[in-house]
């Protein structure tokens, strides 16, 4: 463990943390003011970056926008709006919202802000947790620099810009913009897309930390440092629109709660997450059968349904006869493409789009070389496989199967996966995975959630029914630049 000075120099880590918070609370009022107004300034200055205009102009999503409230029109007004057709010429937006991710460094700052920690305190606290303060700060600076590059590139083209964080990103901000740029990684792209319901409003991803973020949904990495080149390609029409299909959800039945919980914002524990759902319920509707609610979010990657806790331990006493409540399976009924209802128990249900077929769904269903090799060995025992069994064959079969799990993001269909289904004389799973146009799920769970793109959660307990389907009107407009 890192050797820590002063009051953190000895004792257990827990004692050191308590001492750190006790000392910090004495300075809480002073540090809260310093965090709110100045803590970010020396960090940006040391990185050679200008201070964000939001610190000087005050909070709010419009603090970094151009001072003129009037909208500048491009030479061709239609160029600020994509065409739903394959062609459509160039695209020149007048107003752009840049949604910047919250870096791990910023997250840690916000997480411990209540204690009024100084930068030195935060550094020592991260060391106790085994995290590298210098590394987090360096990745933060790289992200900030690349975001500034995107913003400056837009403003150099006389485009009005609003730079916002998660808390400032809302429906009003989306309505203001001709286009949305997600500056971060795939998670930021999912966040930016979640509030865009207009299929003619493009969302473009820029990977601001390519060394640490995969960025499947973002522009090629070279545009991170040469964003003006991407803008010129948009102006000249050297791209095509890509319409990524999304999933829409209707919720009905008894005891439903259409109010979502933002998992990223809350960073809840399971207990806090369940309590948040309870606190936001419509108490006067709990016993009523509700008509279908079209939920206000669309899933770009996937929808997951399952119990909040996959395992739980309960004991009655300290005697040897205490009992354990083991794996809590998700209990539900499912109908695929208006087919018969089937009772199932499993560790959850994943329903993805073509975009999401490369994400969680792929990892649920992919096979490893070892499994393929063992199956082929069994087949050879029955003399039904008259080919030499070698590494090349095993790799070819493995790759071909795994590639069959992927499909085009523009295809208007879904792929469902039953995770770890339980099969016995009561419960069955006639289809563990497959393509579908519509999936209906009736919950028989006690503490379940329906989670959209890993960031938005809806309560989904006994009596609730979800209808999950693709509607082409919900497609997300993105771009593929010509290379």
Quick count: other Cβ atoms within 10 Å of Cβ 127?
17
Closest CA relative to residue 123, chosen from 139, 112, 134, 138: 134
**How many CA atoms are closer than 13 Å to the CA of 271, on its beta-carbon side?**
1
What's the pLDDT at 255?
A: 74
CA distances from 232 to 88, 163, 235, 238 (A): 16, 21, 5, 8
Q: pLDDT value at position 75?
A: 38
- pLDDT computed for residue 56 by the predictor: 41
* Model pLDDT, residue 232: 97
* Residue showing tokens 């998992």: 263
Block residue for tokens 């795939």 = 186
CA distances for 145 relative to 2, 210, 261, 337, 438, angstroms: 30, 13, 31, 48, 44
Residue 191 is inside which H or E element, if any?
helix 186-194
Average pLDDT per consecutive 10 residues, the chain (483 residues; last block may be shorter): 40 50 49 42 41 41 36 44 60 97 90 79 88 92 97 97 93 96 95 94 96 91 96 96 97 86 62 49 53 92 87 39 55 95 93 96 95 90 77 95 97 96 79 94 93 92 95 96 91
CA dihedral sign, ordered 125, 130, 134, 138: negative
């Amino acid at each position: 463990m890192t050797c820590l000075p002063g009051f953190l120099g000895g004792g257990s880590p827990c004692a050191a943390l308590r001492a750190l918070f006790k000392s910090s609370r004495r300075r809480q009022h002073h540090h809260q003011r310093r965090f709110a107004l100045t803590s970010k300034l020396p960090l940006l200055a040391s990185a050679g970056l200008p201070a964000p205009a939001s610190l000087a102009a005050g909070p709010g999503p419009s603090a970094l926008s151009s001072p003129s409230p009037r909208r500048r029109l491009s030479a061709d007004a239609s160029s600020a709006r994509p065409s739903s057709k394959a062609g459509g010429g160039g695209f020149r937006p007048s107003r752009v919202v840049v949604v910047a991710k919250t870096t791990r460094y910023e997250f840690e700052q916000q997480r411990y802000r209540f204690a009024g920690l100084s930068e030195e305190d935060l550094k020592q606290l991260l060391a106790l947790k085994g995290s590298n303060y210098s590394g987090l700060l360096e990745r933060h600076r790289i992200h900030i620099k690349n975001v500034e590059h995107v913003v400056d590139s837009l403003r150099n083209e006389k485009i009005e810009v609003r730079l916002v964080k998660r808390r400032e990103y809302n429906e009003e901000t989306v309505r203001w913009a001709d286009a949305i740029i997600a500056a971060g990684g795939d998670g930021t792209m999912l966040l930016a897309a979640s509030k865009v319901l207009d299929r003619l409003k493009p969302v473009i991803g820029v990977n601001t930390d390519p060394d640490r973020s995969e960025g499947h949904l973002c522009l090629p990495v070279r545009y991170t440092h040469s964003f003006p080149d991407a803008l010129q390609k948009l102006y000249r029409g050297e791209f095509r629109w890509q319409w990524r299909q999304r999933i829409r959800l209707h919720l009905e039945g008894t005891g439903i709660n259409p109010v979502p919980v933002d998992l990223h914002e809350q960073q809840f524990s399971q207990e806090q997450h369940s309590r948040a759902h309870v606190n936001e319920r419509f108490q006067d509707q709990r016993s009523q059968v509700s008509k279908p609610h079209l939920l206000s979010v669309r899933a770009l990657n996937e929808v997951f349904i399952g119990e909040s806790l996959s395992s739980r331990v309960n004991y009655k006493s300290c005697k040897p006869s205490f009992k354990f409540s083991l794996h809590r399976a998700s209990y539900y009924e499912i109908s695929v493409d208006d087919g018969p209802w089937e009772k199932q128990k499993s560790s959850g249900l994943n329903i993805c789009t073509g975009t999401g077929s490369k994400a969680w769904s792929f990892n649920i269903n992919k096979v490893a070389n070892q499994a393929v090799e063992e199956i082929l060995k069994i087949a050879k025992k029955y003399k039904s496989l008259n080919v030499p069994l070698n590494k090349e064959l095993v790799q070819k079969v493995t790759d071909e199967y795994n590639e069959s799990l992927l499909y085009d993001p523009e295809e208007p269909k879904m792929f469902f996966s039953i995770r770890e289904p339980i099969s016995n004389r009561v419960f069955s799973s006639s289809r563990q995975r497959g393509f579908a146009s519509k999936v209906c799920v009736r919950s028989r769970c006690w503490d379940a959630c329906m989670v959209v793109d890993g960031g938005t959660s809806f309560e989904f307990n006994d009596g609730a029914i979800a209808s999950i389907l693709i509607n082409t009107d919900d497609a997300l407009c993105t771009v593929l630049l010509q290379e």
